[in-house]
């Protein structure tokens, strides 16, 4: 799995690709925890390159969500493939996360301000 961070105006986008599992999720966690901080930009995770995500990957995203609430950082996901979306739905987390179809929609909704979600 790879995580690349892009810094746009008031929003950081984490581009994830590959499998997010017990082996790789610590890398995603490290990147998320570095980006989500008080007074920091909004944070979006691009999931379009994620072919597989397990419970440790989901736990990492939930941890990011919780940290975003603590730090008043807007946080969201976009580009979920059907498998990842199904897994989130099964775990009833699809309504907990702010999920968008694509980057444009996500940036429009999440990237416009630095707090509120």
Partner 1 sequence: MRIAIDSEPRLLSILRGVVRFCAREAGFSSSEAECLAMAIDEAAANIIRHTYAGRPDALLALEVTHFADRLEFILEDWGPKVCEELIHPRSLEDVRPGGLGTFFISSFMDECTYDRDFKDGNRLKLVKYLSRKGSPCNEGSSSQSG
Q: Which residues bind partner 1 (CB under 8 A)?
A: 18-19, 21-23, 50-52, 54-56, 58-60, 62-63, 66, 81-83, 85-87, 90-93, 96
**Residue whose CB is less far from partner 1, 6 or 69:** 69
| Helix axes 55-70 and 25-35, enclosed angle (nearest 10) | 10
**Residue whose CB is less far from partner 1, 67 or 109:** 67
Determine the Cα angle at 69 with ends 67 and 75, to 5°: 80
**Residue whose CB is less far from partner 1, 34 or 91:** 91
What's the CA gap between 116 and 109, in Å, rounded?
A: 11
Task: Please report where in the chains the tokens 């975003």 appear, as a residue.
Answer: 68
Least distance in angstroms from the C-beta of 81 to partner 1:
5
């Amino acid at each position: 799995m790879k995580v690349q961070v892009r810094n746009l105006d008031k929003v950081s986008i984490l581009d994830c690709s590959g499998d997010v599992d017990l082996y790789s999720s610590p890398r995603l966690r490290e990147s998320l925890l570095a980006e989500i901080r008080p007074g920091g930009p909004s944070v979006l995770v691009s999931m379009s390159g994620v072919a597989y995500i397990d419970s440790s990957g989901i736990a990492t995203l939930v941890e990011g969500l919780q940290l975003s609430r603590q730090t008043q950082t807007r946080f969201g996901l976009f580009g979920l493939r059907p498998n990842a979306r199904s897994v989130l739905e099964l775990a009833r987390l699809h309504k907990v996360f702010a999920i968008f179809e694509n980057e444009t929609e996500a940036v429009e909704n999440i990237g416009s301000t630095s707090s509120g979600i």
